[in-house]
Amino acid sequence: MFKVGGIFIPVTDLERSKRWYELNLGVTKVDEWQENGLDHGVGYVFKDDSTGLALIKVEKPQPTEFTIKGTSKNVYYNFVVEDIEPAYDFLKQNGVKTTEIHDYGVMKGFDFFDPDGNSFSVVSEEINSPYHKDNLK
């Protein structure tokens, strides 16, 4: 009945962020809007997918993560890739700040950061993971 339609990301410099997201995430631009100078954004979709990603112009950086306990944080959502190493290498070659790849047994993952310091996670599920696409029904 429900599925994710779009992800909204706050960015302070829309032009810089458009270039960065198009290069690093390979998204395809669908629309750009500006309403009375209050709301300015750009909508994208991921290749071979209908999930949307929108960059929304904001005045100051805003968190894309929440605090679990103390200083331990978690991102609101992650990006899934089939093979984590090529994705990691691609972002590193483009000069994107990342953490190291962590192996969690049935899943590998790392975090990366956009020009505003927004934190995102990339994961790759092993075939025996309950979250691997072949195991979801």
Q: What is the pTM of this model?
A: 0.89
CATH 3.10.180.10 correct for 63-137: yes
Q: Tell me the residue type at 6.
A: G
Which two three-digit tokens encode residue 22?
Answer: 């198009």
Outline which parts of the chain fall under CATH 3.10.180.10. 1-58, 63-137
Q: Note the pLDDT tens digit of each residue in 43-78.
A: 999 988 888 999 999 999 998 999 999 998 898 989
Q: Which fold has domain 1-58?
A: 2,3-Dihydroxybiphenyl 1,2-Dioxygenase; domain 1 (3.10.180)
Task: Report the alpha-carbon distance of residue 99 to residue 127 in Å, rounded.
Answer: 24
Instruction: Give the position of tokens 């979709």.
Output: 45
Please give the distance of CA 64 from its chain centroid, rounded to a whole number: 10
Q: Note the pLDDT tens digit of each residue in 104-132.
A: 999 999 999 999 999 999 999 887 776 66
Task: Report the alpha-carbon distance of residue 25 to residue 77 in Å, rounded.
Answer: 15
